[in-house]
Amino acid sequence: MQERQGESMEEPREDLHWPAAMEHQVDLYMQYLAVEKRVSDHTLDHYFSDIEQFVNFMLREELREFERVSYLDVRTFMGRLSRTHEKKSIARKLSALRSLYEFLRREGWVEKNPAKEVRSPKLEKKLPTFLYQDAVDRLLNTPDTSTPLGLRDRALLEVLYASGVRVSELVALDIPDLDLSQGMALVFGKGAKERLVLLGSQALKALQNYLAHGRPSLWQVAGGVAGHALFLNKNGTRLSDRSVRRILDKYVLLCADMQHISPHTLRHTFATHLLDNGADLRAIQELLGHSSLSSTQIYTHTAREHLERVYTQAHPRA
């Protein structure tokens, strides 16, 4: 069984012994997520933690096979979570169970998916946070480009904003995925789906500077073990998604008036700025790699708020 830390609901984990069959099924599911679905390590940790929590609940209820679980058992589990967890966390755990059971059903280990019969808690829709253009400019100009790490940081921030890619997509980029002459990159998104993203002139310039003057120094530190990986850490190996978050946190602290900014904020900013400047919603959907337009439509609310704010500030009779 994979060595990951899960959350405990009631009793200590050490008294619970997983049946070998269940342990094997969970391990195969985690391999499926990692290899076929290509989810990030960060997401894998969350999925395993959620599933581990449910399996421990099963064992306390003397349910030692996934097939024996009913929708009432899943409801009981969700009900207990509601005492200590927020709705968003409960919804995520239910989603993890639905995905696990769908895998078990396809493999023939269970006949039905009991988690599908349980209604997910209703969540309040939050508008995505985004930065205004002057804030983006200050953030992107913060790295010290006289050093290899500064060149790397400038390039990765420029790419995040210019392309709207997810962090997992950014750190997975290899040099052959870039087409600098066309200003494009090939990324591998959720569900192992490929898509082309566009790189603006500033991102291209930052990438060229990094590739010429930054990456070679970092690449040599570990003797080239990183191969074709685009973004490298100080040890000369591929940068991780958590490292990108730490890098962004570092520069946000240097911009005193910024707070609660994540790499995903730059993705939201990318989409919002495109929409504000007249981009078609369908085109934004393609660039973001959203499977449905409904995921992209939240940005129309953000754009409307921006327009209302501009009108209020600028119109003499607003």
d(C-alpha 45, C-alpha 222), whole Å: 27
Residue that terminates a domain, selected from 88, 117, 146: 117
Q: Are residues 304 and 177 in the same domain?
A: yes
Q: Are residues 107 and 157 in the same domain?
A: no
pLDDT score, position 314: 67
The CATH code of the domain that includes 79 is 1.10.150.130
Residue 109 lies in a domain: yes
d(C-alpha 190, C-alpha 97), whole Å: 18
Q: Are residues 105 and 146 in the same domain?
A: no
Q: Are residues 166 and 243 in the same domain?
A: yes
Q: Are residues 166 and 69 in the same domain?
A: no
Tell me how many domains the chain contains.
2
Q: Are residues 65 and 210 in the same domain?
A: no
Q: Are residues 141 and 113 in the same domain?
A: no
Q: Are residues 243 and 287 in the same domain?
A: yes
Q: Which residue has the tokens 């890098």?
A: 247
Residue whose C-alpha is closest to residue 164's, from 134, 139, 191, 189: 189
Residue whose C-alpha is closest to residue 143's, from 161, 129, 170, 169: 161
Residue 185 lies in a domain: yes
Q: Are residues 173 and 292 in the same domain?
A: yes
Residue 5 lies in a domain: no
The reported pTM is: 0.61
d(C-alpha 13, C-alpha 253), whole Å: 38
Q: What is the largest CA-CA distance in the chain?
A: 72
Residue 100 lies in a domain: yes
d(C-alpha 84, C-alpha 150), whole Å: 42
Q: Are residues 157 and 59 in the same domain?
A: no
pLDDT score, position 28: 96
pLDDT score, position 315: 60
pLDDT score, position 110: 95
pLDDT score, position 310: 63
Residues shown for the chain: 318
pLDDT score, position 30: 95
8 within 8 A of 57, measured Cβ to Cβ: no
Residue 203 lies in a domain: yes
SS3 (DSSP) at 1: coil
Tell me the CA distances in angstroms from 111 to 63, 68, 103, 278, one per residue in order. Answer: 16, 10, 11, 49
pLDDT score, position 146: 96
96 within 8 A of 43, measured Cβ to Cβ: no
Residue 122 lies in a domain: no
Compute, in degrees rounded to 10, the torsion defined by CA atoms 266, 272, 276, 280: 120
- The one-digit pLDDT tens for each residue of the chain (318 residues) are 444 444 434 443 345 789 999 999 999 999 999 988 888 888 889 999 999 999 999 999 999 999 999 999 999 999 999 888 888 899 999 999 999 999 999 999 999 999 999 988 886 666 678 888 889 999 999 999 999 999 999 999 999 999 999 999 999 999 999 999 999 999 987 766 889 898 989 999 999 999 999 999 999 998 888 899 999 999 999 999 899 999 999 998 888 667 778 888 898 898 888 888 888 888 888 888 887 777 777 777 766 666 666 667 766 665
- Domain containing 70: what range? 13-117
Q: Are residues 148 and 289 in the same domain?
A: yes
The CATH code of the domain that includes 195 is 1.10.443.10
Residue 128 lies in a domain: no
Residue 254 lies in a domain: yes
Q: Which pairs with CB-CB distance under 8 Å and at least 24 residues apart come from 260-263?
A: 260/129, 261/129, 261/131, 261/139, 263/160, 263/166, 263/167, 263/170
The set of catalytic residues is: 166, 190, 264, 267, 290, 299
What is the 8-class DSSP label of residue 180?
Answer: T
Q: Are residues 302 and 237 in the same domain?
A: yes
d(C-alpha 173, C-alpha 180), whole Å: 13
